[in-house]
Homo-oligomer: A and B are copies of this chain.
Amino acid sequence: MQTSSTRDRIVVAAARLLQRQGYTGTGIKQISKEAEATLGSVYHFFPGGKEAVAIAALRHSCEEFAQLLRTALDGEDDPAKAVEACAVLLATELRASGWRDGCPVTAAALETLGEEDGERTAIQEASAAAFAEWEALVSAKLLASGFGAADAAELATTVICTLEGAEVTAQVNRDERALLLAGRHLARLVGSYR
């Protein structure tokens, strides 16, 4: 059990660091220090080093964010209200974190965009998978509320994009206004399909 919890501590510490300072600025030594794990144990669990830890951390963060979306979406029957509830919950959590814990994957994804010319990096693949998973949760809610498959999928993409952008704006402004407006406007957009 000790080994399992050490791995968890490494993943959670890496996830927080990626969220707060991005991939480039996060070193494996800092991860080891914050996780209260030796550098040797970090490499024991993640022989691939920093990139491998980061992928595991992004997966962990993706699931954490998905759980938040599920909580908000499941709390409202009406799909428009459910989408707005996501924005409100994000605003509450963001303020509680001192505006620090925003989207867990955006910074890491953006920093690695210019690195190569053809293929996506593993970090970008993990980021794209996270966006797709979040979209699927919103899409499922819309489908269950009677939306057609194409509308549900398309709206879900815009809902996640808008929450994403509003989260960044709220963080930079240290003010939840952008998230609350995004929630209201997304509810209006979803409501316009009925």
A128: interface (CB < 8 Å): yes
How big is the A interface, by class? 35 or more
Q: For the complex, what is the distance from the CA of A18 to the CA of B173, rounded to whole Å?
A: 20
Choose from B107, B154, B164, B172 the contact partner of A165 (Cβ within 8 Å).
Answer: B164
Shortest distance in angstroms between A124's beta carbon and chain B's nearest beta carbon?
A: 6
Q: How many copies of this chain?
A: 2
Q: Which residue of B lies closest to A124 (CB)?
A: B172
| Of listed A21, A114, A155, residue having the most chain B CB within 10 A | A114
Could you tell me if B110 and A171 are in contact, using CB atoms closer than 8 angstroms?
yes
Q: Which residue of B lies closest to A132 (CB)?
A: B173
A162-173 toward B: CB 8 Å interface, digit per residue (1/0)? 111110110111
Shortest distance in angstroms between A43's beta carbon and chain B's nearest beta carbon?
A: 23
